[in-house]
Amino acid sequence: MQAIDRKLLRDFKRLWIQAIAIALVLACGVAILLTSVGMYTALSETRAAYYERNRFADVFVHTTRAPLSLVPEIAQIDGVLSVEARIAGDAILDLPDRIKPAVGRILSYPEDTAPVLNVPLLVEGRFPNPVHTDEVVVNAPFAAENGFRPGDSFSANLKGQKRELTIVGTALSPEFVYTIGPGALMPDNSSFGIIWMSERAAAAAFDMTGAFNEISVAIASGMSPEPVIDALDDLLKPFGGLGAYDRTTHQSDAFLDAEISQLRGMAAILPPIFFGISGFLVSMVMGRIIALERSEIGLLKAIGYSNTEICLHYLMLAGLIAIVGVLLGWGAGTVLARSTAAQYAQFFNFPFVIFRVSYWVYAAAGLAGLATTSLGAAQSALKAARLAPAIAMQPPAPPRFKRSFVDEAMAHLKLSQPTIMILRSLLRWPIRSAMTSLGLALAVSSVIASIFINDALDEIVDLAFYQTNRQDAMLLFSDDIPETALEDVRNLPGVLQAESQQYHTAILHHGHLSKRVAIEARPPDTDLSRVLDADGKPLIVPPGGIVLSVRLARQLDVESGDVLEAEFLSGRRETYALSVTGLVEQHLGLGAYMDLEFMNTLFRQIPQLSVANVTLDDHQMDALHRAIKDLPKLSGIIEMNDNRRAFQDTVEQNVVVMNTMYIVIAVLITVGVTYNAARIQLSERARELASLRILGFGRGEVSYILVGEMMLIAVIAQPVGWLIGAWIAQAMTNAFTSDLYAIPLVLKPATFTVGSLVVLCAAFASAMVVRRRLDRLDLIAVMKTRE
């Protein structure tokens, strides 16, 4: 081993604390890159494998009632590979030892052959025997949440007839990776389940003998689904077809795709920040090391080491720091990705998870870490290589400073000498001070970018559950019923108030743009389910017009006053020109709203309703639950408190994890920046500080110079951190926005306060750790140095 190699190891050992501080910041970037890319890859590959193995369909369509004789004709559509027709319907479930009803989605299971598409994966037991019409298979999460095993039974209200059903097995399906009930915001496996029963039993229950009301189609690889969708719509229109749609609009796949998009956005936004900070820290440390080792560089050159060897020596020192950070990041990223993958498998109801982080991801993360640290050290290493031996053996020329108006201002303000020294240091090294401040600002922004999610979710909950949807429950009916039935709803036990609402699926067209949405129609004087304007006041939708959410209007490129076409897929299936009379902010879903009376007029029908919104007496809830289990037309009930609680519980779990991760990241950035900056300040000003001690300054005054400078830089960093944090929060809201939801940008003073406090406390603690070295300074030895 050459002398220069032994020096490399000694330098790394001497600087190990600073090296670890930098390596931890770099490790954060590597770990987040591995976790986000690993999870993105795991979810994408698991989804692809699951869909392929269980033959998840490409196109779906619901109808009112179509004859089975259409299936061969559908199979002949150009590009169609296979077709699966089935019967589907919703039912109220009466579960043992549970007063509150549940909702079940009933699906028919073929009698003679296995399913062609959307094949359920049997987890336990067997599939129903067609001879025994009371046998069913339920989805595994529903069974697990309610403690069901094969052999258990429950009751179901099938079109007004109460049937006792026996569970013979549990299964999972690619259709229901994200199992969410009608009208719900989050999965609730205790109250919503998927039930497969024999085709014969389902046909009898829903009066579908010789018919179907749902069809799934697989198309040829690489073929656009649009021609198939158009052909299906034309073929099924006479039979009440509700419009075919592809996977991108399928509810379960849409939620999964939104999560994958978020992971992709995380991989693009966060890691570069940490790599950049690591490069900056390496640049700071290497610059100071070379300044202190001028004589050693001169000696190395004098005994024959070339400029290239000197340059490589310092690049290798930066490389050792990078290697430590990359190894730590690889380990942490692998553990995080694996644990997160297991959580996703449970949340998304996957039967398996393909966790495989490609070697190229590890290689890319490692190369990114090495590249950023090498770039950070490159300028200093080249500077060392260019030093002539004779010049290197001499102390560096002291910097030349001039008095400026700032010095005059400080003298006029009669500041203390230590304070003047702090300010002069900042002004004489402006670039270094600015870069240190920028590093701390990024730490502040990291906390802000995580904390703002709390306030954003609070606004979503407030708007969705307390301002717009103020009902206690929503009663869902299988078919539209006359509005006179609202009086029967009011007579149910515990119902205090009841209002009607209609939902109709339609395709909105504007020019070449179109979007499939559910249009909600309400009475103008509704009080429970409302549309609010920008000022938070109830908005009355004028007859003849339509109100759109802002996100939907952007997708259709329409503004208030424009005219669009609404192609209704229910009722008389007619197309109408509607004027956009207003735009509203909406965080959940893509909203489109019309006046209920005008809707009935358009459809030329007696007043009808799809949903009854009700307020309830808490003391009569049990009586209400017992009563609605026997209502023949009722297909489901959504209790808003349960919906809100499920939403908050699920979100809070994710937010706590995310907030913890971001705060840890912010602390690591702060420690890395502050500790290294303070160590450099101490090494540069050791002679100066020792001189002050000899002149009679106390330890507190001398410590004030070191700690005060770092804290002043940290304070200066706060406004910049606030701006960067707001920018990152805006980028996150844009990246996480989808058709399913949009995260509002909510930035409160408390958010900035928390971000600043976390960083200032971490900066102060780091500076105080370095300050302890002042107490151990050997004043005589320091004064003998040449600087």
Tell me how far apart the alpha carbons of residues 581 and 540 are, in angstroms, rounded to a whole number: 10
pLDDT of 626 reads 85
Q: Report if residue 79 sits inside a domain.
A: no
pLDDT of 787 reads 47
Say if residue 292 is in the same domain as residue 389: yes
Residues 6+ apart with CB under 8 A from 422: 705, 708, 709, 712
pLDDT of 460 reads 81
Residues 6+ apart with CB under 8 A from 162: 94, 155, 156, 629, 630
Say if residue 1 is in the same domain as residue 50: yes
Q: Return phi, psi of residue 680, to 5°.
A: -65, -45
Q: How far apart are the two ends of the chain, measured CA to CA in Å?
A: 32
108 falls in which pLDDT band (50, 70, 90)?
A: very high
Tell me how far apart the alpha carbons of residues 100 and 637 are, in angstroms, rounded to a whole number: 10
Say if residue 199 is in the same domain as residue 327: no
Q: Report if residue 226 sits inside a domain.
A: no
Say if residue 672 is in the same domain as residue 781: yes
Q: Report if residue 184 sits inside a domain.
A: yes
Token couple for 774: 């002042």
Say if residue 659 is in the same domain as residue 775: yes
Q: Report if residue 375 sits inside a domain.
A: yes
278 touches 372 (CB < 8 A)? yes
| Number of domains composing the chain | 4
Say if residue 581 is in the same domain as residue 659: no
Residues 6+ apart with CB under 8 A from 324: 19, 20, 23
Q: Give whole-number Cα distances, 700 to 112, 360, 706, 708, 766, in Å.
A: 88, 52, 10, 11, 17
Quick one: how far is CA 131 from the chain centroid? 47
Residue with token string 């990246």:
735
Say if residue 658 is in the same domain as residue 733: yes
Q: Per-residue pLDDT for 172 more than 90?
A: yes
pLDDT of 399 reads 58
Say if residue 748 is in the same domain as residue 645: yes
DSSP code of residue 540:
P
Between 534 and 745, where is the model more confident?
Answer: 745
What is the three-class DSSP state of 128? coil
Say if residue 645 is in the same domain as residue 787: yes
Q: Per-residue pLDDT for 596 more than 80?
A: yes
User: Of the segments 411-415, 532-536, 637-641, 775-779, which one has the largest average pLDDT value?
Assistant: 637-641
Q: What is the domain range of residue 366?
A: 1-59+250-397
86 falls in which pLDDT band (50, 70, 90)?
A: very high
What is the three-class DSSP state of 533? coil
98 falls in which pLDDT band (50, 70, 90)?
A: confident
For the segment 736-754, the average pLDDT, to the nearest whole number, is 81
Q: Report if residue 223 sits inside a domain.
A: no
For the segment 607-623, the average pLDDT, to the nearest whole number, is 88
DSSP code of residue 238:
G
pLDDT of 651 reads 67
Tell me how far apart the alpha carbons of residues 555 and 514 are, in angstroms, rounded to a whole number: 8
For the segment 39-58, the average pLDDT, to the nearest whole number, is 88
Q: Report if residue 216 sits inside a domain.
A: no
For the segment 465-477, the average pLDDT, to the nearest whole number, is 85
Instruction: Tell me the per-residue pLDDT of 673-709, one tens digit each, with 9 for 90 and over.
Output: 787 777 777 776 767 777 777 767 777 777 788 888 8
Task: Kindly report which listed range (218-222, 297-301, 620-624) carries the lowest average pLDDT score.
Answer: 297-301
Token couple for 580: 């956009």
Residues 6+ apart with CB under 8 A from 76: none
420 touches 414 (CB < 8 A)? no
Token couple for 781: 């030895």
Task: Kindly report which listed range (118-122, 231-235, 471-475, 771-775) carries the lowest average pLDDT score.
Answer: 771-775
Q: Per-residue pLDDT for 786 more than 60?
A: no
Q: Report if residue 404 sits inside a domain.
A: no
Task: Kindly report which listed range (193-207, 482-496, 533-547) carries the lowest average pLDDT score.
Answer: 533-547
734 falls in which pLDDT band (50, 70, 90)?
A: confident
Tell me how far apart the alpha carbons of residues 171 and 762 are, in angstroms, rounded to a whole number: 50
Tell me how far apart the alpha carbons of residues 549 and 323 are, in angstroms, rounded to a whole number: 50
Say if residue 392 is in the same domain as residue 435: no
Residue with token string 């705060």:
663
Residue 437 burial (10 A CB sphere; 0-12, 13-18, 19+): buried
Tell me how far apart the alpha carbons of residues 102 and 141 are, in angstroms, rounded to a whole number: 14
What is the pLDDT of the chain when averaged over all its residues? 83
pLDDT of 387 reads 73
pLDDT of 340 reads 77
Say if residue 500 is in the same domain as residue 440: no
Q: DSSP letter string over 31-69?
A: HHHHHHHHHHHHHHHHHHHHHHHTT--SEEEEEEEEETT
Instruction: Tell me the per-residue pLDDT of 367-392, one tens digit each, with 9 for 90 and over.
Output: 888 888 888 888 878 877 777 776 66
pLDDT of 390 reads 65
353 falls in which pLDDT band (50, 70, 90)?
A: confident
Tell me how far apart the alpha carbons of residues 785 and 294 are, in angstroms, rounded to a whole number: 13
Which DSSP helix (H) or strand (E) runs through 708? Answer: helix 699-735
Q: Per-residue pLDDT for 664 more than 50?
A: yes
CA-angle at 424, arms to 422 and 429, nearest 5°: 100
Q: Report if residue 568 sits inside a domain.
A: yes
Which of 379, 397, 415 terminates a domain? The answer is 397
449 touches 662 (CB < 8 A)? yes
